[in-house]
Structure 1
Amino acid sequence: MNTEQTRTAFTDFFRERGHRITPGAPLPRPPGDPVLFTTSGMHPLTPYLEGRPHPLGDRLTGVQRCLRTTDLEEVGDATHLTVFEMLGSWSLGDYGMDRTLRLGHELLTGVYGVHPGLLHATVFGGDDQLGPDTESLDTWRDLGVPVELTREDNWWSNGPTGPCGPDSEIFVWTGVGPPRNTPQSDDRWVEVWNHVHMRYRRLDDNTLRPLPRHSIDTGMGLERLAMVLRGDCSVFESDLFEPWTRALPALWDLDGARLRIAADHLRSAVVVAGDGVTPSGTGRGYVLRRLLRRVLTLLRQDDRAGEGTDGRPRRTLADLPGGPIEHTLVHFGLPCPPRRADEVRDLLVDEERRFTGMLDRGRRVLSRRRFAGPLGEEEYHYLHDTHGLPRELVDLLRGVG
């Protein structure tokens, strides 16, 4: 399966089992939400998981585009992304953990073709307040799937207070040869799917109050699932990233982690801009600006052609072909307003001009005598707070690293 077929197979599976497809929400969260962007598939459904009736019923499925800046420093490895798609299924007071885990096992083995012997599960093993999740433990044992008990790693919460509950994670073996060890001790076990039993609300005094209706929230990253099913070494080998990983090395000397970072950040910037966000110095716009400036810093470091006599790069985002932008917008369902592909491209190029202007200003600042020698933390803080020059830009201009 390609990623589009993988995504469709997921929603078809649950639709055939009585789940209604709920449309994905935009990345930007509405006014009043405490966070800037949608971070998970359950995020738009939080009121319904807490008890409000959903207009589509009590069995739902869907695909949600998400953005997480918490994993930004991890981007460049095999599995982490800034913007990704979450495949989700939800039971709003209908069925429990036994049913959701059996559905998960059926989909992975019967539809996606994962050999049952390559599966491993983790289950909440209890803590000072609650005992182990025996329902999940018994289900996995009945299905013949090995289980590892944990504490914090199998307890889901959205913060220090609010809805929470035990979860069970499903892992697939990606190593060479027969499976060995357990997910907690061997990173060749890759987590693909988390099933949360939303049973409690944690109060300010850290006590747990049972929710009036127990619900199920599951989430599985599409890009990571596609990687596992195809036997790829990273999420960047899929058809979703092929336009980017083909176009970028033709312009800049990129490979390995640097190519993965550039592909992720540019693709993520296209999705955020396609969802109507404009670069700015605060809020959502700052997240977009930060993504672009991180990747522009990297591209300046890896400019194959080098800089011209005027200090300007010979390759810019204006040289980027339109194919990767168009491909990304179409995949995420964003080829129409709020922005078309040509408008997104113009936005990227305009932000690069602003970045170049900041570099020019940075060169003038760094030419001062006080910055001639090695820089300490005080100088870095001064350059950032007074002149808006982050450390990576200062190092780029000084030729450090």
Structure 2
Amino acid sequence: MRTEQLVSTFTEFYEERGHRRITGSTLLPPPGDPVLFTTSGMHPLTPYLEGRPHPLGRRLVNVQRCLRTTDLDEVGDATHLTVFEMLGTWSLGDYEGPASLEWGYGLLTEGLGVDPGLLHATVFAGDGRTGPDTASLELWQGLGVPVEPTVEDNWWSNGPVGPCGPDSEIFLWSGDGPPRSTPTRDDRWVEVWNHVTMTHRRLGDGSLVPLPQRNVDTGLGLERLASLLQGKPSVFECDIFDPWRRLVPALWDLDEPSLRLVCDHLRSAVVILGDGVRPANTGRGYVPRRLVRRVLTVLRRDDPSRGVGDLPEELVLHTLDHFRQDMPPADVLRMLREEEDRFGRLLERGRQVLARARFQGPLTEGDFHYLHDTHGLPRELITSLREG
């Protein structure tokens, strides 16, 4: 099942159950949201999860592009991407968690053809302040799905304060042979769908108070599920990455982890630029700058002549089209080349600074802070220059 069919199957399934499809936003969060980028489908819906009536009703479904830098060092493994798409559903004070889980099970097994024997679930076990999620536990047991109670792994929160509550995660077996063990003991169980029941609000002092409106918020990673349904060993081999897998290896000879990082970071930079963010030294603009510099560090490790200016326009156009962005590919390539030029100047300045006698021995934290604040040299670049 290709990703376009997966998206249509998902949305149509929930539309048949009274959900209205809402248009996903850009990577830029709504005004007042403290995060730099949209990291989940719920960010644009925060006011409605807080109780404001949504104009389309209490049951919603959408596809939302997201960006997470917290997993940046994980990119290159089988499941993590910097920019990805999240399929989401919401109950704004309507149905409860067990109904959401039952629909999720039905979509996976009947709509998408997943073997029920390859599923495993986790639920909240209770922690002394709130009791166990017995309703979700009984739902899974009734469906015959193995279920594992946990504490920390199954309590969801949107930060130190704000809505929170128990969640139930659905895992799909990715290993060879029959499933074994449990999700907390075997990483071949891959999390594909999280169903959160927002039952409480965490206050500044850490205490919990019940929410007047209980919501259900679910998120299913599109690329992760697509790779599993297509029998691929990583998200980088699902059909979304077909053009990248075809063109990038012909351009640069890279090992598999480096190929994944280069494809992910360049694709993510294109999406960020396509949403109107411009590279900068701080804040939101530092993310695309950092991504491009990580790519260049990898590319030039074996060949200093490599550069992002060689990126085929076809890949830029494919990415902009997929994320429904209307920026001309030539403008994106121009900004990438400008970032490459800036990086080249930074490298030259960095080599000169690090050649000074005071930086020849082991560097202290004070040295790293000085090099960053005075000369604009980030820690990872300093480490790379010294190793090179």
State TM-score, norm by structure 2.
0.96
Structure 1: where are the runs of 5+ without partners? 308-312
| Corresponding letter in the other structure for 2:64 | Q
Alpha-carbon distance in 1 for matches of 2:209, 2:357: 62
**1:18-63 superposed Cα distances (whole Å, 9 cap, x missing partner):** 1100100111124422111101011111111121110000110000
Give the superposition deviation at 1:262.
0.9
Question: 1:50-77 deviations in whole A, cap 9, x for unaligned?
Answer: 2111000011000000011111111111
What SS is found at the alignment partner of 2:156? strand
Partner of 2:195: 195
Spell out the pairing of 1:142-291 with structure 2 (5 A cutoff): 142-291=142-291
**What is residue 132 of structure 1 aligned with on the other side?**
132
- Do the aligned partners of 1:125 and 1:132 also contact (CA within 8 Å) in 2? yes
The 1-side partners of 2:139 and 2:194 are apart by: 15
- Within 2, Cα distance between the matches of 1:111 and 1:70? 32
Alpha-carbon RMSD: 1.5
- 1:36–1:284 CA contact under 8 A, matched in 2: yes
Task: Give, as a single letter, the amino acid of the residue that structure 1 aligns with 2:174.
Answer: T
Does 2:307 match 1:316? yes
Pair 1:77-2:68 in alignment: no
- Counterpart of 1:114, as a letter, is V
1:381-401 alpha-carbon deviations (Å, 9 max, x no partner) = 433332112233334444x26
CA distance in 2, matches of 1:246, 1:393: 30
- 1:260-303 Cα distance to aligned partner (Å, 9 max, x none): 11111100000000000000112111111111111111111133
Give the fraction of aligned pairs with identical amino acids, expressed as a percent.
66
Establish whether residue 376 from structure 1 lines up as the match of residue 363 from structure 2: yes
**Cα distance between partner residues in 1 of 2:315 and 2:79:** 20
Return the match for 2:336 from 348, 355, 358.
Answer: 348
Q: Which amino acid aligns with 2:356?
A: R
- Asked if 1:60 corresponds to 2:60, the answer is yes
Shift of 1:380: 4.0
Conserved 8 A contact 2:94-2:215: yes
Q: Which amino acid is the alignment partner of residue 362 of structure 1? A: G
Q: Post-superposition shift, 1:363?
A: 2.8
Q: 1: distance between equivalents of 2:291 and 2:149?
A: 38
Kindly provide the CA deviation profile for residues 299-329 of structure 1, in whole angstroms up to 9, marking residues without a partner as x: 11133xxx4xxxxx2x322211111111111
**Bigger mean CA offset, 200-209 vs 187-196:** 200-209
Whichever residue aligns with residue 275 of structure 1, its letter is: D
1:255 to partner: Cα distance: 1.8
- Which digits, 9 at most, give the CA deviation of each residue in 1:57-104, with x for residues without a partner? 011000000011111111111111111100001111111112101100
Amino acid at match of 1:319: D
Contact 2:193 2:219 in 1 (8 A): yes
Distance in 1, Cα, partners of 2:361 & 2:253? 28
Which residue of the partner structure matches residue 391 of structure 1?
A: 379
Question: Which amino acid counterpart does residue 159 of structure 1 have in structure 2?
Answer: G
Q: For residues 335 and 160 of structure 2, what CA distance do their matches in structure 1 show?
A: 38
Change (3 A) 1:387 1:183: same
Q: Is the deviation greater in 242-251 or in 166-175?
A: 242-251
Conservation of the 8 A alpha-carbon contact between 1:168 and 1:194: yes
Rounded to whole Å, the distance in 1 between the matches of 2:314 and 2:101 is 40
Residues 21 and 211 of structure 1, relative CA distance in 2, 3 Å threshold: same
Taking the aligned partners of 1:157 and 1:395, their CA distance within structure 2 comes to 35
Question: How many matched pairs?
Answer: 387
Aligned pairs for 1:283-302 (under 5 A) are 283-302=283-302
Tell me the distance in 2 between the aligned counterparts of 1:23 and 1:4. 16
- Give the partner amino acid of 2:350: G
Residue aligning to 1:359? 347
Secondary structure in 2 aligned to 1:241? Answer: helix
Which of 272-281 and 208-217 deviates more?
Answer: 208-217
2:112 is the alignment partner of 1:112: yes
Q: In 2, are the aligned partners of 1:201 and 1:210 still within 8 Å (CA)?
A: yes
The whole-number CA distance in structure 1 between the counterparts of 2:293 and 2:245 is: 19
Q: Normalising by the residue count of structure 1, what TM-score does the alignment of the two structures yield?
A: 0.93
Give SS of 2:239's match: coil
